[in-house]
Structure 1
């Protein structure tokens, strides 16, 4: 798969309703004909399909393109296999609180990663670095700061998606990771495993 096709899949991953040829052309900075050629190849591969049509300003409705289930699975999930092993191990322990244990595991991961960045001091720096780390891990993450010292991290790709659909306790690993890395209280406002467009977390600094 070429870089353009990877970029096209990433754009579609960030838009659950789908994107039109014009929107993909603008996002990729290539011609509409080139977009159509890439879409045709990705459709043959079973990675992209046609979604709904969207009315355009008085003209012919725009056809939207979306990721297929196979296309969604093409997203990088660099350590979901490890989480499956962890879950299997935890489930063998009698009387375990899965949510609490996942939070503890996420916190331990955060301590290990934070040790690589000793210079982080402000909440903003911690959130920005965490977003960068999560993006490298395959979350396709981005962040924004809102009023009151709170930050939002959104992820277009849940690295534990298949597992989280079966057991939402796995989401506590993310919360443990994010809360410990950024010294924040974390609220999970939207979840892809529950039908959301993104995984959205609000982080409020404990130091303020």
Structure 2
């Protein structure tokens, strides 16, 4: 769907994807460096396509409340997710073979296998920091819109606002075991899923603690 849009509309959708509470016309105009009228025209077009909708309002310091705009579920699903379709087939197969009670462990094992294959492509990764850096890059290529960032306390985390399993995770959080198995094996870390979009978070945030030798 994104392939049929203009560049400004793509940029606008990407901005809203990173701001789950929503953004105002003024904020969008400033970020895109275009006029408020241009933003309104783009919003009207995207609303008509069912990709954007008016969300909550926000106090504006004594003036009229600011209207915020947010992505619809269709808007979120319009971004590429390169292997979500494959995951659906995998989960259905695992559930049929293992039963629901063993889903978490089996999906974790699949994630471990995926990570081992990916790591074989990067034999020169030595330090924990190098592994986390490369994982963020790989996840971004897979469609997670992932980036490495640093928390105020100096801790390095990966944040992603386009989970490739989002629709599935809303129905069943067991699917997150696949991601966890993949991340832990790729980085030789213990991973904590600190914030989750499937639970209403603005993004998915992952913390990495190096495994002790």
- TM-score, normalised via structure 1 length: 0.92
2:138 corresponds to which residue?
A: 133
**Within the alignment, does 1:55 sit opposite 2:59 as a pair?**
yes
Question: Secondary structure of 1:12's partner?
Answer: helix
Per-residue CA deviations over 1:103-134 (Å, capped at 9, x if unaligned) read 11111111111122222221111111111111
**Within the alignment, does 1:154 sit opposite 2:159 as a pair?**
yes
**Within the alignment, does 1:167 sit opposite 2:184 as a pair?**
no
1:143 corresponds to which residue?
A: 148
**Within the alignment, does 1:191 sit opposite 2:196 as a pair?**
yes
Per-residue CA deviations over 1:121-160 (Å, capped at 9, x if unaligned) read 2111111111111111111112224589853111111111
- In structure 2, do the counterparts of structure 1 residues 148 and 114 end up closer, same or farther at CA, with 3 Å as the change threshold? farther
Question: Secondary structure of 2:67's partner?
Answer: strand
Whether the 8 Å contact between 1:149 and 1:204 is mirrored in structure 2 is no
Contiguous gaps of at least 5 residues in structure 2: none
The separation in 2 between residues aligned to 1:29 and 1:146, in whole angstroms, is 28
2:124 corresponds to which residue?
A: 119
* Residue 92 (structure 1) aligned to one of 84, 96, 109: 96
The separation in 1 between residues aligned to 2:132 and 2:80, in whole angstroms, is 22
Contiguous gaps of at least 5 residues in structure 1: none
1:70, distance to aligned residue in structure 2 (A): 1.2
1:83, distance to aligned residue in structure 2 (A): 0.5
The separation in 1 between residues aligned to 2:97 and 2:166, in whole angstroms, is 24
1:89, distance to aligned residue in structure 2 (A): 1.1
- Equivalenced residues, count: 208
1:13, distance to aligned residue in structure 2 (A): 0.9
**Within the alignment, does 1:101 sit opposite 2:99 as a pair?**
no
- TM-score, normalised via structure 2 length: 0.90
Question: Secondary structure of 1:97's partner?
Answer: helix
The separation in 2 between residues aligned to 1:177 and 1:115, in whole angstroms, is 13
